[in-house]
Structures are given as C-alpha cells and as structure tokens.
C-alpha cells in the first residue's frame, strides 16, 4: 500500500504568550497524494492553526508543539535553516486568506515571483521571469505581462488572489494549503477561484488541505471533510457521508445552520452557545455545554477518537442515522 503524502499524528499546539491557550489537541489525519481534505468549523476551532503548523509559521518562542508531522518523507517539526526554507514553497506552499498581506507592497508582483523562483531553483533572471509569466497565464490572469509589472495594490481582490495562487504554485509543491482563499471575495469571484483551484489540483496531482466556513465550497472542492471543534477533529469522512449522514451533534448543527434557497421563509437555525475558551477548556467533551444530548459522561470524560472504515468520530453519543435530518 502506498504511503500517504501527509501523516499528522497526535499534533498538539499550545501558545504560551500572555496566557496559555491549547489551540490543537491530539489532531491526527493522513492525506494521500492527489487528495483534497476540507477543514470545517467555527472560528477558533483550530483550522488555520493546523495549516500554519504544517508550514512551521508560528513563533517558536511562544509556541509549544507536540506530536509529529511527516510530509513527503520530511519530518517537518525537526527541519531547520535552509532545509526548512526549501520545504516552504518547494514541498508545501500556502494560499492565505488575505493576499494583500502576503505580498510586499513595495515590490511588483513579478519581482516577488522571480525572487521566489530563484531562491528555490537557482535559475537566471530571464528564465525566472518566463516561468513567472507562464504561471500568471496558467491561473487565468488576463494581460499577464501588465500584471507582472503591477504592484499588489493595483490589482483587484480577485486578481490578487489569483496572483497569490500563482506564487504558491511556482515551485511545484506537492502539498497546497489554502486558508479560506475565497472569504474576502465577491460571490461570482469565489466560484471562479474555487473552480480554478480544483482545475489546478487535477492538472498537477498535488494534495490540498482547504480551510473554509462554507460547506458548499467544501462539497465542491474536497474529497474528504474533517470537522474541527475546540482544537480537535470531531468527525472526518468522505464528503457525501459527512454531509448526508453526520454522526457528531456539532456536525449536524453546522449543516442545519446552512442557508439554501429551499429554506426561504423558514426560521434560521444556529448551534446554541459559543465555543469554549481555549485557555480554560472543560474537563470532558468541549461541545457538551452546547449539546442537547450531553450526559454526565460527556461533561467529565474526553471522548475517545474511533475510526471505523473511512469514518473517524469523537463522540460518546453519536447521532443515529435515522435521526439525521433530511
């Protein structure tokens, strides 16, 4: 059996600045070559922290990381210096939520792309410029030569996001990390970016971890979905299985709160309460205070994570299939 491209095992992240906060708690998952995994959950559930930890972007002085991360044979948590620099961009790369913050405002798009290519591939300037222009065209940026010489602020939000995707793919990474890449865009542009990402993923065969609040976007792009809550994966499985037969009460609540045209005139549903304080997590299940099915066991014991077939679940009282709302 072929080894997975990504293997995350018991990943724990704790921030130790002015106050301690346990952002990730024993997160484990594998990702096959060419597979797309969508991470779903409310703000503060650990989705973006997971991506940033995969790239080692957290400040080491105020971050404690436990567990293990293997990507394409690299022990990510032990990488240092030049090896870490080559890993970032060459093996794994990231598309950020706000590309305006990812680009340096005093350099043109082209200058930043050429610098990235030369840092990883060591080619001459002319070759690097040719590769950068080709990538801008590949992400369907019109008048690529003109955008190559433009500064980040001169591009629209959609064009900046396309340029960010081009920058992330320049050095042919095996793993692309996409942190809510469509959140700040208009609805029509969101669809264009999602379709572009899926097209590029199929074309290159790269693996993708895609963070989103939008269940519809996850269904469109992902092969599997992992639902996160308070730093843990509470449910993970194939897209169709998770969407049609959610087993965790939190997953069921997320799906029930999704608005569609069919729900016109119906009252909006929401998951009651709010996520727990990560600096003071409850003794048992973190979702117990918001769960209608919670028992004393839920309040006092952390649920075991159990994998059955292709489904992973952390819940003492899963929702029966017959109870799932259609």
For residue 326, what pLDDT band results from cuts at 50, 70 and 90? very low
Instruction: Decide the pairing of beta strands 175-179 and 92-95.
Output: parallel
The residue written with tokens 């199929």 in the block is 202
Residue 206 DSSP label:
-
Give the pairing of strands 20-31 and 232-238: unpaired
Taking the C-alpha atoms of residue 223 and residue 240, their distance in angstroms, rounded to an integer, is: 9
Burial of 206 (0-12, 13-18, 19+ CB in 10 A): buried
| pLDDT tens profile 219-275 | 888 999 999 999 999 999 999 999 999 999 999 999 888 766 565 666 767 788 899
pLDDT at 39: 96
User: Pairing relation of β-strands 20-31 and 6-16?
Assistant: antiparallel
DSSP 8-class letter at 128: H
Helix, strand, or coil (residue 186): coil
DSSP string, 16-33: ESSSEEEEEEEEEEEE-T
For the chain, counts of helices (H) and of strands (E): 12, 12
Q: Give the pLDDT band of residue 157 (cuts 50, 70, 90).
A: confident
Rounded distance between C-alpha atoms, residue 178 and residue 51, angstroms:
8
Q: What percentage of the chain reaches a pLDDT higher than 90?
A: 70
CA dist., res. 216 & res. 19, Å (int) = 36
Nearest to 217 by CA among 205, 208, 229: 208
| 300-303 contacts at long range (C-beta below 8 A, 24 or more positions apart) | 303/234
Residue 226's DSSP bridge partners are 39, 236
Task: Give residue 259's pLDDT.
Answer: 61
**Residue range 168-177: mean pLDDT, rounded:** 93
- Residue extents of the structural domains in the chain: 6-106+171-323
Does the domain at 6-106+171-323 match CATH 3.30.470.20? Answer given as no
Which of residues 299 and 98 earns the better pLDDT score? 299
* Model confidence at 181: pLDDT above 90: no
The pTM assigned to this predicted structure is 0.90
23 falls in which pLDDT band (50, 70, 90)? very high
- Nearest in space to 7 (alpha carbons), one of 28, 35, 36: 28
CA distance 301 to 297: 6
Phi-psi region for residue 166, left (φ > 0), alpha (ψ -120 to 50) or beta?
alpha
* pLDDT above 70: residue 33: yes
| β-bridge pairing 36-40 and 63-71 | unpaired
Q: Is the pLDDT of residue 325 over 50?
A: no
pLDDT tens track for 188-222: 888 888 888 899 999 999 999 999 888 888 888 89
DSSP 3: P
What pLDDT is attached to residue 264?
Answer: 65
pLDDT in tens, 100-117: 778 899 999 999 999 999
């Amino acid at each position: 059996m072929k080894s997975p491209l990504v293997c995350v095992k018991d990943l724990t992240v704790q921030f130790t600045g002015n106050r301690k906060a346990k952002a990730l708690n024993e997160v484990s998952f594998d990702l096959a070559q060419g597979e797309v995994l969508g991470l779903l959950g409310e703000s503060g559930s650990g989705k973006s922290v997971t991506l940033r930890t995969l790239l080692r972007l957290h400040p080491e002085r105020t971050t404690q990381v436990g567990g293990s991360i293997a990507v394409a044979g690299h022990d990510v948590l032990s990488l240092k210096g030049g090896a870490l620099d080559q890993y970032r961009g060459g093996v794994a790369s990231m598309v950020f939520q706000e590309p305006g913050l990812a680009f340096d405002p005093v350099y043109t798009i082209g200058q930043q792309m050429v610098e990235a290519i030369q840092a990883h591939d060591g080619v001459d300037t002319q070759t690097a410029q040719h590769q950068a222009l080709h990538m801008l065209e590949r992400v369907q940026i019109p008048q690529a030569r003109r955008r190559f010489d433009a500064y980040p602020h001169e591009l629209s939000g959609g064009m900046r996001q396309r340029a960010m995707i081009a920058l992330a793919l320049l050095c042919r990474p095996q793993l692309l990390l996409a942190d809510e890449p469509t959140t700040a865009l208009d609805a029509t542009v969101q669809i264009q970016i999602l379709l572009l990402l899926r097209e590029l993923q199929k074309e290159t065969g790269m693996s993708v971890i895609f963070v989103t609040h939008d269940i519809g976007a996850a269904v469109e792009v992902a092969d599997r979905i992992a639902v996160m809550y308070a730093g843990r994966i509470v449910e993970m499985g194939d897209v169709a299985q998770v969407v049609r037969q959610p087993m965790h009460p939190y997953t069921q609540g997320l799906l029930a709160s999704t608005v569609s045209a069919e729900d016109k005139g119906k009252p909006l549903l929401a998951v009651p309460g709010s996520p727990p304080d990560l600096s003071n997590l409850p003794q048992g299940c973190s979702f117990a205070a918001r769960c209608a099915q919670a028992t004393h066991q839920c309040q006092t014991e952390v649920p075991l994570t159990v994998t059955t077939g292709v489904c992973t679940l952390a819940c003492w009282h899963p929702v029966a299939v017959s109870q799932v709302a259609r």
